[in-house]
Amino acid sequence: MFLGIFRGKVSLGIFRTCFYKRIDRWVYVQKHIDRCISRRKIYNDIEISSGNKKNLSNTERWAIYNALLERSHDGNLKKILLEKSKETSSGEAVNVCHKKSGNCGRKKIPLNLNQVKSIPFHKRTSLRSLSKSLGIATSTLHKRVKEGMLRHHTNAIKPSLKDGNIRDRLKFCFSMLEKDSLIHEQNSPICTTSHILTKKWFYMTKKMEKYYLVPDEEVPHRTCQSKNYIEKVMFLAAMARPRFDEEGNETFSGKIGVFPFVSMQPAKRRSKNRDAGTLELKASTSVKREDIRACLIEKVIPVIHERWPVEDRGKTIFIQQDNARTHHETCPRTVADLVHVVEESFEEYAAEKVNYIFLTLQSCMKEIMKTGGDNKYKIPHMKKATLDRENRLPLQISCDVSLVQSVMATLASS
């Protein structure tokens, strides 16, 4: 039975071919060989490359041709549309290769990159706005993005710095350099082993969430009393750089603790979930400087004294707030659930990733010194995970002598 039957819309491209018998030999008549090539199917014995290509390769064409010859009977192919065409001359070699070689097809629409640069940034916030400014189709710009001629960039606004802020930033980064290397004028490593990082508000949910669904799956329905006042809890998380021994075993995770700003309060009104007067865990709606100070003195610092590595006792500990992003990926329904989720996520966070954070901090300090204390720099990417797998991850980021001397000259002149 012929397995490669052309039927309906799934044609292998009706080749516009004709197979017939003449003087006891096969003659292949080729006419309009490229018609309907885009409509094809993968058969059991003819492997056709998948995708949306409109043209078959020469290898695929020969495979189809040979399969048709094997399944023909007395020059006839059942259920194949035969077209009459001009006969080939006697003895002419059969050739089913396509004729689209070299520079053929639709010409590429050029994109003037200098014209793109001349367009103001507020007119290129989307491909549609850029398309309107250039007079080029949006689909064409999308192709140029895939080709790498254009790139997508998410721009974050940064705080404005005064001269005093710039000098303080430069002075702080310079103070993190090891003093012994400064005396001997060697490459100076940045030391951040005694930093504590603190963070931020955790929301019960987000206004917009992105999910991946199967085609027949129902869209999730999320509700809240007011999307402008989603319940949130402030957490103060303290982390230091983890410690590892010479064999790579963890000796100190760097996790000091995570401290929520919550309190137990009696319910003012009766509801279907509880009676009036029932104690509930409530989040602080306003966390002021005094509240953070009290949390540091009463909770954070005592835990630091308890958990800090013995070999680093006596060294100065810097407390620095970084306002990092949230990390939990669950959907809590109550304040108690949110507190539990955050504490659980904190404990599950890998010490290796904590170490990466502090290496990134050192890299940022180096970039700050390069820019003279400004915040106009890109966060460097050093492929820390790859270096860690290869046991080549540095313990500290070093600054060369010329950079250190430049920073010293800047601080001396200001």
Q: DSSP string spanning 251-300?
A: EE--EEEEEE-EEEEE-SS--SS--TT-EEEEE-S---HHHHHHHIIIII
* Residues 129 and 264 occupy one common structural domain: no
> Residue 154: inside a domain, yes or no?
no
> 404 with 182: CB under 8 angstroms?
yes
Select from 105, 132, 155 the last residue of a domain.
105
Rounded-to-integer distance, Cα 4 and Cα 45, Å: 8
Instruction: Collect the ranges in the chain with pLDDT lower than 50.
Output: 1-44, 50, 79-90
Rounded-to-integer distance, Cα 323 and Cα 158, Å: 13
Position 229 scores a pLDDT of: 85
Burial code (b: 16+ CB inside 10 Å, e: under 16) for 290-312 equals eebeebbeeebbeebeeebeeee
> 254 with 239: CB under 8 angstroms?
yes
> Residue 57: inside a domain, yes or no?
yes
Q: Position 339: which residue type?
A: V
* Residues 84 and 121 occupy one common structural domain: no
Cα 331 to Cα 338, 355, 370, distances in angstroms = 8, 28, 42
Segments forming the whole domain that contains residue 18: 1-105
Two structure tokens written together for 12: 């292998």
* Residues 347 and 303 occupy one common structural domain: yes
Domains identified in the chain, total number: 3
Task: Choose among 345, 335, 332: nearest CA to 285.
Answer: 335
Rounded-to-integer distance, Cα 346 and Cα 410, Å: 40
> Residue 153: inside a domain, yes or no?
no
* Residues 79 and 121 occupy one common structural domain: no
SS3 10: coil
What pTM does this model have? Answer: 0.67
* Residues 289 and 356 occupy one common structural domain: yes
SS3 232: strand
- What are residue 311's DSSP bridge partners? none
Position 179 scores a pLDDT of: 77
> 220 with 211: CB under 8 angstroms?
yes
Q: In Å, how far from its chain's centre is CA 106?
A: 34
> Residue 158: inside a domain, yes or no?
no
DSSP state of 174: H
> 178 with 192: CB under 8 angstroms?
no
Q: What is the CA radius of gyration of the chain?
A: 34
Taking the CB of residue 410, how many other CB atoms lie within 10 A of it?
17
Position 187 scores a pLDDT of: 72
* Residues 355 and 243 occupy one common structural domain: yes
Q: Position 364: which residue type?
A: C
> Residue 216: inside a domain, yes or no?
no
* Residues 186 and 284 occupy one common structural domain: yes
* Residues 191 and 134 occupy one common structural domain: no
> 100 with 55: CB under 8 angstroms?
yes
* Residues 75 and 124 occupy one common structural domain: no
> Residue 213: inside a domain, yes or no?
no
Two structure tokens written together for 266: 């009696």
DSSP state of 184: T
Rounded-to-integer distance, Cα 26 and Cα 77, Å: 13
* Residues 119 and 47 occupy one common structural domain: no
Compute the CA torsion angle 249, 251, 256, 257 (nearest 10 deg).
50
* Residues 66 and 179 occupy one common structural domain: no
> Residue 223: inside a domain, yes or no?
no
> Residue 90: inside a domain, yes or no?
yes
Rounded-to-integer distance, Cα 381 and Cα 127, Å: 28
Two structure tokens written together for 188: 């100076």
Task: Choose among 42, 54, 362: nearest CA to 192.
Answer: 362
Q: At which residue do the structure tokens 């001359």 appear? A: 89
* Residues 351 and 370 occupy one common structural domain: yes
Helix%, strand%, coil% for the chain, nearest 5 = 30, 15, 55
